[in-house]
Amino acid sequence: MLLTKFKGKEALIPQLKGKVFLVTCHGCKEVNLSGAEHEAELLFNEALASQHINGLLTADYICNPEYLQARFERFADQVREADTILVFSCGVGVQTIADAFPNKRVIAANDTYPLPGFQGVTPLEHDCKQCGQCYLNLTGGICPITACSKSLINGQCGGAKNGKCEVDPNMECGWERIQKKLAQIGRLDALKCPVQLRDYSVDAKSE
């Protein structure tokens, strides 16, 4: 199970470039601690006035790529026009959208935390370890915690060979993927962010 918590407007506003399309997922609504939908609507209403936001899609289980495509069909024009897609969902949902729209700036609005109990039933290609400090906005929507064998958050180690991870020659190096993705979406500046440190004391209850 998981919880999501809004990163806060101050953290997100600088991330939003150009026209913004909003996506909110209520697949796991009952565990949505932040009331993200409500916040999303607030941000939506507020931003409508400034005409930055050009559409809102509310769906469930956006982590399912097939579902996702069907849901987005109706919004094809808005999405095409949008520069940024701001996603209120868990880490898997954001990664799925970042994958589906490789040329958009896909931004995670939430941090994802674990919640004791059963594990979500999402046997999909993307994985979220619910680290509580979602890094997807710095990594082009590829999760460094699950895509890198060492869960490195400050860049590639020296172990990649032929683009594969030192631990598993069948696994693509996560940081090689991140580097390519950031280059593709013109966001290599994200690599100039301050030194990142994990905080293992965070949980959904901490402020």
Region binding ligand SF4 by CB under 6 A among candidate stretches 51-59, 63-71, 117-125, 163-171: 163-171
Site for ligand SF4 in 63-122 (CB under 6 A): 91, 111-112
Residue in 69, 130, 136 with CA at minimum distance from that of residue 57: 69
CA separation for the pair 58, 111 (Å, rounded): 19
**For residue 172, which amino acid is it?**
E
Of these partners, ligand SF4, other proteins, none, which one is at the site of residue 102 (CB under 5 to 8 Å by kind)? none
Tell me if 104 sits within 8 A of 1, measured CB to CB.
Answer: no
Nearer to ligand SF4, 43 or 92 (CB): 92
Nearer to ligand SF4, 18 or 159 (CB): 159
CA separation for the pair 168, 31 (Å, rounded): 35
Tell me if 43 sits within 8 A of 22, measured CB to CB.
Answer: yes
**For residue 78, which amino acid is it?**
Q
175 is a site residue for other proteins (CB under 8 A): yes
Q: Which residues bind ligand SF4 (CB under 6 A)?
A: 91, 111-112, 128-131, 134-136, 143, 145-146, 148-150, 152, 156-157, 159-160, 165-167, 173-175
